[in-house]
Structure 1
Amino acid sequence: MESADKIPESPLTRNKQNLCEVCGLEFSKRVYLKIHLQKHEGEKEYVCDICKSKCADQSSLKEHKKTHAKVFTCELCGYVCSANSKLTRHLRTHSGERPYSCDVCKSTFANSSDVKVHMVVHSDAKPFSCDYCDYKFALNSSLKRHLRTHTGQKPYSCNVCGYACSVSAGLKRHMLTHTREKPHHCHICGSEFSERFRLKKHLEMHANEKPFPSGLLEFSNQIL
């Protein structure tokens, strides 16, 4: 019969210092806990009740929640977000900046994700069909906008005057009548405009000037 000192030690014990925060098991030694944690590697059981992001353990979740405590505010309209990257994207709605472009048609976009969505229009696939007419679309979002021409739905409304429209871009243009913002600037003479198409019309005036303003054609193509 083996003596008691030769009986292998069980890794499991009631030891709060070596507690697995994932499943609640307790271990006699730290090394056993580390080996055990490898089983949980890649598991994400802890869910943020604010944004529903998942974390591997309780301590990671606590660190994640600290990101929600950080507040970034737009000085132009008061928009509030939890990350500086989100604020940067939001500011482009005021400045009109569109730093991402399509390699096929040179259309420009405010966000890189918009370029990926846009690339679908260059394919032949149009899987989204209108139930009211024969129109077909490459994007489901395009179909939804089109359907409003049949239903008359206007889901976007102004919280200042009650004006309603069928597309979000229409509401953004309308809001400029309240804020008096003019985010589109002429790089030649500095004139400011509330809408991109007005800037394009203005640039056509410069196109008739002699000598022809340097770089105008390239700039005009970028705002199409």
Structure 2
Amino acid sequence: MEKPTEEKTSSCEVCGSSFATKSNLIVHKQEHHEDKLLYNCKICGFSCAKKENLARHIITHNGYEPYKICESSCAIEHNFASSIKMHSEEKVHSCKICNCTFTTNQSLVRHMRTHTGEKPYSCELCEYSCSQKSNLVAHKRKHSGEKPYNCEVCGSNFSKSHHLVVHIRTHTGEKPYNCERCEYSCSQKSTLVIHQRTHTGEKPYSCEICKYSCTHKNQLVKHHRTHTRDKPYDCKICGHSFAHRESLVSHIRTHTGEKPYSCDLCEYSCSQISTLVVHKRKHSGEKPYACKICKHSFSQKSNLIVHMKKHDGNFKS
């Protein structure tokens, strides 16, 4: 299975920037070029914000490509300069701690903060601080409620551009991240990292109270509620509260009567997928829960628990 491709296949027709996925290109155009496309090419429909950019674009129709350093040719000098920078191996700014090298001093300064822990940008509304100004700008939207990134397909709004990038993939179906060990693919790099732990067995999140460990931070948050008895999800209909959001969703179906899970072998339907799994065992005959003492097996764990009481002498008829 191939690794997530780094090839940049989607190009902006306005500025020439290239992106690995179509969703990134869509967000780029929305951020930098929306409502600024005043000059149009009569040959191909190309639009841009400046007259001189249109003049440079027209050169591409004449086949005039004076700048070339690799397989990609450039008709515009500043694109050629960017290409030179990308292909140049010269990185004159070096980190004295880890020997990483950078093409600009600004990139080195940002990198050094990963070693020093320096966070010069602080929020005046809370205690949050960070190492990059762009992160502070994004953080402040939590206070203001501002969501400047809009999905043109469904109208959803987001406070961060990368959230919009990931969201757009729910419409395009893009899954650029592939597992090297199986056929699994997904839309987010973080999701792939979590998936890969199913192969490695890694469980980096551990409970400080008991020996529980898990692959995902959210799983640990949910587990902690078994110790704290915290139930933050309340039913607005009856006031019942739950530790997990999924439990509340299932509970609400007892009020609405909704049964979204249906058996494909009969007319049975139910409100929870776990109930459907148990039901299907009636058709398959599967009994995955076995008694270690007498080898009797059951289709439901609850039936095994009741059965085990017979062996313990605690079963009451």
TM-score (norm 1): 0.46
TM-score (norm 2): 0.34
